[in-house]
A and B are shown apart, each in its own frame.
Chain A
């Protein structure tokens, strides 16, 4: 058991474990929404768009959360403004502005003499540098994000599943969408310390996608996604500690490995389960999970 307990003698290990626990749980929980609302491209865009805000805040020594939110918001406005003109589609506008924001971040950080080290930290994360204050901020943010997901579960679920009904019942759809984007942005910002800008998308998508393969209900998918994210974060950190390899990359690779295992072995949605049930299922005309509907139900 020495491999498990010995590293706990180091303070930096404890801080890193706390950080990845919070990061993994928060990403895994909000990741359920990223999956069902197909926000992974948006998530990737946000993680790049917040970069200049983080750098400016870092250079000025102010809260990186505020800087990141401001940069994310400004980039969103620029995307909306250009795509509303009608001459450029939204996905192209996102491509233009999130890359531009990212470039701005790189240029800004290159003004520092410690450029290389700083940039690497932002790109792939730097768990060794996590301080007690970082953990407090991450914990507070994670609690707010998960707390709002719990408190507004009904509303966020309805808006995600059936916007028409939500609108017909008078739910504030725009407000709930905006809230989701803010929660996503905040989650991304506090995760950058652990896994970095480039890999944060994997933590938003992979644990939640793994959970989706195992459960068929949304509440349990959120809870399981959070649990998988937290466990994988800590296990990945241990692995990287013992092997002396990059922690962010190890965590993401471990998450991917677990996803692949679930993809093959899941009793309900795995390849294996599918093969076993293939025969009777085709008879019954039941659709695969992503199929639009049973064959006899095609709209005429």
Chain B
């Protein structure tokens, strides 16, 4: 099999944006069954990259294909887990109701969800460890549980690609563990996972590939090759914080302060 026809998500010379281009000349190949972390400072175009793959931000140039087919032609094969801030948590809907939405595309306009759909919903909820939460209104769940519910929605969509915008932001350790395990299982079953993230170290530890983005693609490849000081500097410039907390050093990007960062004395890298 030549590289061009290998199964996976392929971006070729993608430039995306509205009046002004947010992303230029992005070419990436994310093979089937891989986990990619998209890393960059605020305003670097991480979310735009995800939106461009989804077809929400118009492509000015280039193509996005999945297994050789334009994503725009087969939209339900790409699932999306939104950022927490983008969801109206007071909406009168239960966890199961949210997950069921992942089945809508296969139902068509007039058909109502049937027994098979409800089984799929409960199965997905069990898989993310939220089976007992099916009938709870989504606002009554913790942040981690909410994140898992949306992941379950992506599962019932049975998509080939799952895009996540900051999935680990503000979640508890249980959720982090559940999501981590699930990512592994999904990858092994051939799903391509793409997550935008601020957490550089966790991304370096858990992702197969890292895409460093700042309006352009700065670097792309396995963490061992790309998680380097020159790449980090080229991506973040002066916006990177290196925080020393006890005997622990961690890099924090994008000027987002966690409570831990505030407690430890941050110093700006130069």
Q: Which of A152, A167, A286, A293 has the most CB of B within 10 A?
A: A293
B184 at the interface (CB under 8 A from A): no
A216 at the interface (CB under 8 A from B): yes
Taking a contact as CB atoms closer than 8 A, the residue among B91, B146, B170 that contacts A298 in the complex is B170
How far apart are B192's CB and chain A's nearest CB, in angstroms? Answer: 16
A residues 254-300 in Cβ contact with B at 8 Å = 285-287, 289-294, 296-300
**Interface of B with A (CB < 8 Å)?**
54-56, 75-76, 78, 80, 82-94, 97-98, 101, 104-105, 107, 109-110, 112, 137, 139-144, 146, 166, 169-172, 198, 256-259
CA distance A292 to B139 in the complex (A): 8
CA distance A285 to B107 in the complex (A): 37
CB-based contact A296/B101 at 8 Å: no
- A32 nearest CB neighbor, chain B only: B92
CB-based contact B169/A300 at 8 Å: yes
- A153 nearest CB neighbor, chain B only: B112
A48 at the interface (CB under 8 A from B): no
How far apart are B30's CB and chain A's nearest CB, in angstroms? Answer: 17
Taking a contact as CB atoms closer than 8 A, the residue among A158, A212, A297 that contacts B84 in the complex is A297
Contact of A36 with B76 at beta-carbon distance under 8 Å, contacts A158-B101, A164-B86, A297-B146 already known: no
A4 at the interface (CB under 8 A from B): no
Contact of A216 with B257 at beta-carbon distance under 8 Å, contacts A165-B80, A285-B142 already known: no
A178 at the interface (CB under 8 A from B): no
CA distance A216 to B89 in the complex (A): 12
Contact of A218 with B143 at beta-carbon distance under 8 Å, contacts A154-B107, A169-B105 already known: no
Residues of chain A contacted by B257 (CB below 8 angstroms): 300
Residues of chain A contacted by B98 (CB below 8 angstroms): 161
Taking a contact as CB atoms closer than 8 A, the residue among B91, B109, B171 that contacts A297 in the complex is B171
Q: Kindly supply a per-residue 1/0 record for chain A positions 154-179, scoring 1 wherever the CB is within 8 Å of any chain B CB and 0 otherwise.
A: 11011011101101111000000000
Residues of chain A contacted by B171 (CB below 8 angstroms): 297
- A170 nearest CB neighbor, chain B only: B75
Residues of chain A contacted by B105 (CB below 8 angstroms): 169
How far apart are A60's CB and chain B's nearest CB, in angstroms? Answer: 38
- B108 nearest CB neighbor, chain A only: A154
CB-based contact A158/B92 at 8 Å: no
- A165 nearest CB neighbor, chain B only: B80
- A151 nearest CB neighbor, chain B only: B110
CB-based contact A168/B80 at 8 Å: yes
How far apart are A210's CB and chain B's nearest CB, in angstroms? Answer: 13
CB-based contact A221/B56 at 8 Å: no
CB-based contact A168/B78 at 8 Å: yes
